[in-house]
Amino acid sequence: MDPRIFLFVLFGIGLMLAVSLERRLAMSWLPMPIVYVGIGFITFSLPLGLPHLNPTEDGFDALTLEYVTEFIVIASLAAAGIAIDRPVSWKNWRQIWPLLVIAMPLTIGAVALLGWWALGLAPATAILLGACLAPTDPVLARSVQVGPPGENERHDVRFSLTAEAGLNDGLAFPFTYLAIAAIGMTSLGWWTVEWFAKDILWQIAAGVIVGWAVGRAGSWYVFERGADEGYEKDASWPEKYSTSEGLIVLGTLLLGYGLAEIVEGYGFLAVFVGAVTARQRENASRYHKISHHFIDQIEKIVLVGVLLGFGGLIAGGVLESLTWWGAAIGIALIFVIRPLAGLLSESLCGLPFAGKLAVAFLGIRGMGSLYYLAYGQNHGEFAGIEQLWAIVCFTILVSIVVHGVAAARFLSHVERRGAHVHAGESTEMAALSPEDRKLEIEGRPDC
């Protein structure tokens, strides 16, 4: 059989089974991502003439991987942003900032230091390793994120994990650029000042501003168009557009990503900010649920292919350069570095300890890490890039297994103990009107 045709068959079967498998395996010891990675590994290991996937040997594989993972991260960030019901304010979101300004830099520094000390990596390569492994993943974190928009249930643990994954995938880029800029440098100098001014201050600000502007413009276009065409803006009018509104949302978010990149801002950050901004308008409308469902379907389609391809990477020998020290870094990240950094950053928040531990431990690694590594390889000459691919892929594989098995059970345990909300908070708000629910949320302290 033509290998290309065989891949079509495999991908088609994978898509048909994805929804039922995800539902059936959610609470099992064999979650869906593990199954698809295993199928990909077995398939690409067979003598079928399938492509040999290994970005350390073929620059085309690295470029393809960068583009594919870039798109699925965009789709995941959009879905995560639209799913967040919580109104945007410093007070409502202040439990997120410690995860970004404390946990993430600590994780980057710890991983980079281990890479330099234990593996003898060059400083630039060690920084890139930290930048790749620090961000939590919006793609594989579906099981720990908030549900579809309009669920009206407060869940501070899921909210923290969702918002963190949405924001830190954009904020990891400064350190990726730092690694690229540090190639060949032997000391600090003016280049570090330029990096801070451009890659941190300007690009973060540009990503946020573009995302906010595009989100506002996109939501205005959708809801004003409905009113102009004679439909009242009630809970049902978006159903009349159910075949087109998803395209508008996806187009708007891709536009935001592109515009942010054009002005040298962070496109991932713009996508998430744009999705959250659009969600704030007409928050009682079913339009947001329709949009979320549309983007969620796109994400699932690409995810099936990416998981099968990740299994192909493993079969292609990407782990051949893995050493015991490299494996130890990946295991330390999942079981020691991220949990300790997360607990430290959440120390002043009002969650019970079990809830804080859930936020700290369930920092899933995934496709975002592959994107940053592929981007780094395609934009700089890093010594020891084979070791980085081995460590990153091993860490993702361990995360898929450990978090895939533990996430649902851990969250169920936390929810049974009532530790998923801040002390004294009610978990159910379904009986409240959208206006009262908004006031209820805004009136609650998060940290």
- Residue-wise pLDDT for 116-155, tens only, equals 999 999 999 999 999 999 988 887 777 787 776 666 677 8
What per-residue confidence (pLDDT) applies to 25? 75
Assigned domain for 360 exists: yes
Assigned domain for 349 exists: yes
> Torsions phi, psi of 153, nearest 5?
-125, 130
Assigned domain for 287 exists: yes
Assigned domain for 280 exists: yes
Domain count, the chain: 1
What per-residue confidence (pLDDT) applies to 443? 45
Assigned domain for 105 exists: yes
Interatomic CA distance for residues 98 and 94, integer angstroms: 8
Assigned domain for 447 exists: no
Interatomic CA distance for residues 345 and 30, integer angstroms: 31
Interatomic CA distance for residues 87 and 231, integer angstroms: 26
Interatomic CA distance for residues 241 and 237, integer angstroms: 8
Q: What is the CATH number of the domain that holds 243?
A: 1.20.1530.20
Which residues does the chain have with pLDDT short of 50? 227-243, 426-447
pTM to 2 decimal places = 0.88
**Residue 287 to residues 29, 256, 395, Cα–Cα distance (Å):** 36, 20, 38
Q: Which domain holds residue 37?
A: 3-442
Mind giving me the DSSP string for 276-317? HHHHTTTTTSTHHHHHHHHHHHHHHHHHHHHHHHHHHHHHTT
Beta partners for residue 153, in sequence order:
428
Which ranges of 25-155 does DSSP label H, i.e. alpha helix?
A: 32-45, 59-83, 90-93, 97-98, 104-119, 123-133
Beta partners for residue 428, in sequence order:
153
Assigned domain for 68 exists: yes
What per-residue confidence (pLDDT) applies to 246? 67
Assigned domain for 189 exists: yes
What per-residue confidence (pLDDT) applies to 435? 47
What per-residue confidence (pLDDT) applies to 376? 94
What per-residue confidence (pLDDT) applies to 235? 47
Interatomic CA distance for residues 59 and 381, integer angstroms: 12
What per-residue confidence (pLDDT) applies to 244? 59
The distance in angstroms from the start CA to the end CA of the chain is 59
Residues 371-406 have pLDDT tens digits of 999 999 999 889 889 999 999 999 999 999 998 888
Interatomic CA distance for residues 402 and 407, integer angstroms: 8
